[in-house]
Amino acid sequence: MSPRRRAVAVENATLHGHSVRYRTAGSGEETIVLIHGIAGSSLTWEPVMADLAAEATVIAPDMLGHGESAKPRGDYSLGAYASGVRDLLAYLGRDRATIVGHSLGGGVAMQFAYQFPDRAQRLVLVDSGGLGREVNLLLRAPALPLAEFVMPVLAAEPLRNAGAAVGRLLGRVGLRPGTDLEEVGRGFASLGDFETRRAFVHTVRSIIDPGGQRVSARDRLYLAAELPTLIVWGERDRLLPVKHGYAAHAAMPASRLEVFADAGHFPHRADPARFVDVLLDFIESTEPASIDAESVRRRLREPQATA
């Protein structure tokens, strides 16, 4: 094992009576939280966790409704997910952290920074949701009426096992062979049980309608002006277009933008070494934010340009 790498452990916490699975690595004072995307799990961060943990404590939860965490009938809004991250950090005795979110997790990360500004030291958005209307048909479809009655057929074991057929289907919505296809395929395969499908549909409908994303953080990005922000995007992303990353960067002039030219929706898996280097450099080169109620109040009272 390289001296830079740290072993990744899988742990469980019980929060509000529900089991939450999370991966953790390292024991440094710096805390990095990694939040996965829809139909994903903490497994998506596997290629980068050990290296990120060289001088930090890295925590990657399976959000409720995902992976090996509980799938209760309940609230699957961005606010509820952000509160779940806050509760896990409190459970683990970690008061403040650099919050990293991919896809849906980016929306959760922004919501976390909005709800708990005193707990967010830095914000990292990786091919993030919530930054523009456009989203691939693959994610709009579950928002359609009666989708919950069609999904059991699509997620049936014979079809899930028909790898070539699933590959052709995903190819038609723009996903290229390789990392994107593998990760989306794994997410598709996770929908085999009723509880997971129910959580998936509820999550999609809380943020997406048949026309695209209906939740946007762009009118609140000014509130993060004092929060060091890194935006990472795959230039070949066919689920959430890279122009969303450029627009967010323009709305946050102090942010840093890194575009991975050969990556799609999962740059942290397409080029994990570069992702680790970019993220660690960002952390090392920025001072953690210290945002209090007065600074939030001041920002809210400043005149803002209308969208």
Name the catalytic one among 255, 265, 268, 271: 265
Q: What is the DSSP string of 242-257?
A: THHHHHHHHHSTT-EE
DSSP state of 289: P
Structural contact between residues 195 and 227, judged by C-beta atoms closer than 8 angstroms: no
Q: End-to-end CA distance of the chain: give it in Å, rounded.
A: 51
Verify whether residue 103 is a known catalytic residue: yes
Verify whether residue 244 is a known catalytic residue: no
Q: Could you tell me which of 10, 27, 20, 6 has the C-alpha nearest to residue 91? A: 20
Distance CA 139, CA 240 (A): 10
Verify whether residue 265 is a known catalytic residue: yes
Distance CA 42, CA 54 (A): 18
Name the catalytic one among 42, 69, 103, 190: 103
Beta bridge partners of 60: 23
Name the catalytic one among 206, 237, 244, 268: 237
Q: Which residues are catalytic?
A: 103, 237, 265
